[in-house]
Structure 1
Amino acid sequence: MTTLAKPDAVQMDGQKLEQVKQLFQQQIDEGIHPGAGLAVYRYGNLVLDIHGGTGKDKPVDTETMFVLMSSTKPLTASCLYILKERGKIAYDDLVSKHWPEFAQNGKESSRSDTY
């Protein structure tokens, strides 16, 4: 079991984290999310790790896997924008310039602006 960092130790408001926990549980109870997990890290330290509801007819726990499909695309796009603004990438860079292992199975010429 992973030990949670104390919110004060990572400059976080423990009351705000408690509000997140309450909202999470409320949404599980109301059926907004049939099952979900949430982990919050600050400066590499785990400060919140909660789960609830059911997935595939069993309770969600720390080992439950979720099918995310395209739900990570907005986060990925935001990360790419930040990297471009910081001068770390160009939108027309080959993906393999930053992730060499990607250049396999016909993807050698793929760029971040291809998709």
Structure 2
Amino acid sequence: MNWVSIGSLSDIPRRGARCVDTPEGKVAVFRTADDQVYAIDDHCPHKGGPLSQGIVHGTAVTCPLHNWVISLETGKALGADEGAVRTIPVRVEGERLFIALEALASRAA
């Protein structure tokens, strides 16, 4: 896999996110309260809201536009809502964070 460095764990506040621009679009990288890291497309499957600006709770994020809840583990909408976003593999090496750009390209095709 083509792992690309996107910064360090300390760049992302606990229960927060940052947005990374990639050739395949914006990726939201999330850090949970217990330092798990997840990456998903930065657009809600409902109306395209910026998930990176949502509220992180557990292993989910709530979209800031219409309160859809998206699983950071699966990318799927939770509850009665339907839809999903791509999940992108993340690797943590010490403090450094990496995402797999090949996964983005293969899923975009």
Q: TM bucket by the smaller chain?
A: under 0.3
TM-score (norm 1): 0.24
Higher CA-based Rg? 1
Structure whose residues are more often strand by fraction:
2
